[in-house]
Amino acid sequence: MPIHFVIGKKKIFLGMNWYRNSHYFTQSKAKKIYHKMIIEQLDDNVRYEKIRLNIILNINKLVKKDLGNITALHEKFFLDALVENKNIEDDKLSNHLGSNTSYIIDKNINIPYICIEIIKIS
């Protein structure tokens, strides 16, 4: 998943700081775009009872950003997409047992992105 989105003519950095300051119409548009991109990659027939997520931020240099500010919104939007697509019943604690977040610096990439892996627990 990219960490930047273009909404209208504006490029946004999808993170908690943007979310806190953005208008709810823009938040809704971003979430719809994100869900569409995620759901296109999901198998409609796969159901999970309990999961964990492995979230990896891939960047080309160390940036002055807070890892949690970047990954938290992606985690929330991703979980909401799983619920919308009926891959999980709900993103409550009994279904989503937590997430691991980390980052990788790869000087060969031009555009930062996030990979989210679903780890089936049951």
Residue 4, strand partner residues: 13
Given a cut of 80, is residue 117 above it in pLDDT?
yes
Domain extent, residue 91, equals 4-120
Nearest Cα residue to 21 out of 81, 89, 57, 69: 69
Q: Are 121 and 10 in contact (CB under 8 A)?
A: no
Domain containing 66 — which CATH number?
3.30.1330
User: How far, in whole angstroms, is CA 72 from its chain's centroid?
Assistant: 7
65-80 pLDDT tens trace: 788 888 999 999 999 9
Query: pTM here?
Result: 0.90
106, amino acid identity: D
Task: Indicate the angle between helix axes 24-39 and 67-84, nearest 10 degrees.
Answer: 70
* Predicted pLDDT of residue 67: 87
Number of domains in the chain: 1
7-43 pLDDT tens trace: 878 888 888 988 999 999 989 999 999 999 999 999 9
